[in-house]
Structure 1
């Protein structure tokens, strides 16, 4: 008699040496894979091609689920061992309304990968033929598989028994050609997100300002024009705000300009600006030692911008886009900027440095001004792990959105929902703007705890003029966030899918 087991899932084993994942599609038909997977809805019996597979086992469905406790609830599994070393894994898909949104299919792909990894199988066929499994839904399922498969384990010394090798997943679907097209259309966003994860996860000793520059130059293979401004050029431009942050570090500052020309000549570009503090000690206003290692991720905004430009170029997006990232390291030393120092930004605005740990806005002040002054973009969006205050306000589920333009803000909110990278709009007003005024300079870079994320945004707004602009404070979502179905890594790569969705939905065509 065939044995039926209901497996209570334990955490996946230690990271595999190889993260290779091959995803194919095939029509419903003969299955030769060592492991076959199909879904059953809550309270239901196998249907579609899953019913054919189950019937071939010769087992009684009612007896099997009674023995295993399987009811089809989301997350449940029933593992069936077959003669010849073959195996069936039946997964609960929950209620019929459980997979109504595309983002739920992304999560479903992540959950599926977790279960596949636990089986340690390498040749897998997955039947997905339910009515809601549209090509777009299956592209999200494939995206979830790839995103969940990601591990940042390059610095681990793996044991020999961890070496499972590459995994091949064949999706058995009703229209393989349509699904292949949809998966290919989604793949560029996944790769951009994984690039952002890689950059954020790298330790600061391996990814300084110059190493980050080299990573951006790799985008030239995709047709991206990469321009790098070195310290002497930044000094000539008068970028005193950005330069003062770098004064305490042996690593030189760099401003990187990435240009993708996919639109028509003369079309206004879409501009994206990222904070790239490769490590942030706080400078003279030094941070507490606890969890300071997380500050290797203070370049999460720059990572997202780099991942986005990679995405747009990879899929040949029909737009002109600019990615500008300010790369510095904030360190305490005899040459570091001091609290009370006054610096002049590229715009001519003088800034009193109250707190050297409010450094990201100083970097962005010059990067934003340079971008709007040189490129005259259609809009300008900056991303930055800017304030701890936004985590107090929103936790790790939403990034803060600040904008001077209602239309752009609404577009971003919608894109965030569609990409499952959610935003929450926060206020800007003249009342908050008064708080950043300084006794000794035009403005000051810190006003203390009250409305900390809002006053930081008011500071940035001084450097955008009248261009439609949005500031995304991603301090709570760029790294260290709670693990989702599609991410077990420290950094989720937040922002790439969101901004790619914005461009696709509102600025192409």
Structure 2
């Protein structure tokens, strides 16, 4: 979809969008359209319960005196409360309304908001960003689809008096959206398309953005002693991989990097501890944490972020077979610590254990943040409204909370405590990979903490956020790309030169 910013003019696109604020207060562009259509806008918004609340929409089809298909009158809510998140939601709602309307070209008239938090350019750029994020569809495998369901919108023109400034601001938002869409694609692809080897090949394509990509094969990981990660994948015919992405954007070449680590279980059957058959097809998204890392690295490189960053993803497939890991097996992690595998479906923490140790040992990062669709218990605790975060560093948590609020990818801090740590002690090894009946998300985090040493670290459990059955304002149902914008904003606000 092509998005451009231009000066205000009478609409010539298939569909034209104007705005009102709370209490039906028309913007200047809305007033002009109302005049051109002999008062149609004012008459329409008096019908029904339209009050100009955020996201409310009135549709006017075949308006008089204008050679266009439709006008949308969209509410922006209270002028003084209109921030970037709300602007993006409005852009998303506009796209959701028009995406399959049959209209190809949309124009959106954005006016100055004197009392708003945002500048004219910021308002226009964030509305455009929301529209782009909501336009995403994964439809590559449809061979027969009704025209009424196909996305029709191919161009959006955002009309604003600050077109040049808005275009400049949008450029970075657009590059971040590239990362979100890449993550969504990766998560949505089926397991026979995205498996460890093919996934690694897709990541290699990031070299076009200036990212250096390394891929470790099983033989190399065996030499490093990554018994925890390799144990997860030993039941699969697909070879496991560890992929390392280097982005060196800081002017200080020797500056320690920030590091992101992702769980990349490309398909999770549960292994010998087999999952129930119903719903198992969704386990293709058990690599959502790794997709967030790959998407974030894409975003950082795309907008040429002035930071040194490392992305590390452990790519495995967890399958039951005659060679699969058994409940009761003991594996030796790269750290030298031994792990009793009580449940082979608690595999993500085994992958992350070696990936975390490798990252802190080799790169000596300023901080490490890992992301994983790790525990169903996280969804029991927080539903699909927040990701849970666990950390050994208060400042890092504060930075992530702030970043999440800024881009509407919220996180909620959960506890770590020695009392919980005891629950992962084993009777025959240094630890076991599950902690028992209670506090499942916390004991998983306690397990991971044993592999970070004193490096400032945050674990983000995104089990409830990577995939949603209901659409949001800026994402269709399915893969959300959660974590990409969170990590990008975290870096932007705290670590760039």
TM-score normalised by the chain length of structure 2 = 0.95
Pick from 70, 83, 107: which aligns with 1:101?
83
Evaluate the alpha carbon distance shift between residue 160 and residue 402 of structure 1 in structure 2; reply closer, same or farther with a 3 A threshold.
closer
In the alignment, structure 1 segments of 5+ residues that lack a partner are: 1-20
List per-residue Cα deviations over 1:294-325 (Å, max 9, x = no partner).
Answer: 10000001101000111111111111100000
Q: 138, 144, 160: which is aligned to 1:158?
A: 144
Q: 1:422 aligned to 2:410?
A: yes
Contact 1:48 1:129 in 2 (8 A): yes
Q: 2:233 matched to which residue of 1? A: 246
Contact 1:22-1:166 within 8 A present in 2 as well: no
Q: Is the 8 A contact 2:184 2:479 kept in 1?
A: yes
Partner residue of 1:125?
Answer: 107
What is the Cα deviation at residue 445 of structure 1?
A: 0.4
Q: Which residue of 2 aligns with 1:36?
A: 16
User: Greater CA deviation, 24-33 or 253-262?
Assistant: 24-33
In the alignment, is the contact (CA less than 8 A) between 1:396 and 1:482 conserved in 2?
A: no
Asked if the contact 1:242/1:362 (under 8 Å) is kept, the reply is yes
| Secondary structure of the structure 1 residue equivalent to 2:59 | strand
2:337 aligns to what?
349
1:449 CA drift (Å): 2.2
**Is 1:223 equivalent to 2:203 in the alignment?**
no
Structure 1 position 479, deviation (Å)? 1.2
Contact 1:150 1:489 in 2 (8 A): no
Task: Name the CA distance, whole Å, in 2 between partners of 1:395 and 1:327.
Answer: 26
How many residue pairs get aligned? The number is: 489
- CA deviations 1:126-175 (Å, max 9, x no partner) are 11104136222322211111111101111111347356655211111111
Change in 2 beyond 3 A, CA 1:459/1:404: same
Q: 1:384 to 1:68 in 2, by over 3 A?
A: closer
* Change beyond 3 A, Cα 1:344–1:66: closer
Which 5+ residue runs of structure 2 have no aligned equivalent?
none
Q: Which moved more, 1:161-170 or 1:112-121?
A: 161-170
Q: Distance in 1 between matches of 2:49 and 2:413?
A: 45
1:143 corresponds to which residue?
A: 129
Contact preservation (8 Å) 1:339, 1:353: yes
Cα pair 2:100 2:153 within 8 Å, conserved: no
Q: Hey, what's the Cα distance between the residues in 2 that align with 1:297 and 1:218?
A: 21
Task: Between 477-486 and 202-211, report the one with greater CA deviation.
Answer: 477-486
Q: Deviations over 1:340-390 (max 9, x none)?
A: 111100000011000000000000000000000000000000001110110
Q: Is the 8 A contact 1:105 1:140 kept in 2?
A: yes
Cα displacement string for residues 175-225 of structure 1 (whole angstroms, at most 9, x for unaligned residues): 100100011021111110110000000000111101100110000001110
Change (3 A) 1:93 1:428: same
Contact 1:45 1:61 in 2 (8 A): no
Q: Which residue of 2 aligns with 1:308?
A: 296
Pair 1:291 & 2:279 matched: yes
Change (3 A) 1:232 1:249: same
1:30 to partner: Cα distance: 3.6
Q: Distance in 1 between matches of 2:419 and 2:46?
A: 65
Q: Does 1:111 align with 2:116?
A: no
Could you list the runs of 4 or more consecutive aligned residues of structure 1 that deviate by over 6 angstroms after TM superposition? none
Aligned-partner Cα distance in 2 for 1:278–1:186: 28
| Conservation of the 8 A alpha-carbon contact between 1:389 and 1:453 | yes
1:273-295 Cα deviation digits (max 9, x unpaired): 00000000000111111111110
User: What is residue 346 of structure 2 aligned with on the other side?
Assistant: 358
Q: State whether structure 2 residue 488 is matched by structure 1 residue 500.
A: yes
Report deviation, 1:101: 2.1
Change (3 A) 1:47 1:436: closer
1:174 to 137, 144, 161: 161
Q: Does 1:23 align with 2:3?
A: yes
Q: CA deviation at 1:468?
A: 0.2
Secondary structure at the aligned position of 1:119 is classed as coil
Distance, in Å, in 2 between the alignment partners of 1:460 and 1:201 is 27
Pair 1:194 & 2:181 matched:
yes
Distance 2:426 2:451 in 1: 16
Where does residue 276 of structure 1 map in the other structure? 264
**Alignment partners' CA distance in 1, 2:42 and 2:291:** 51
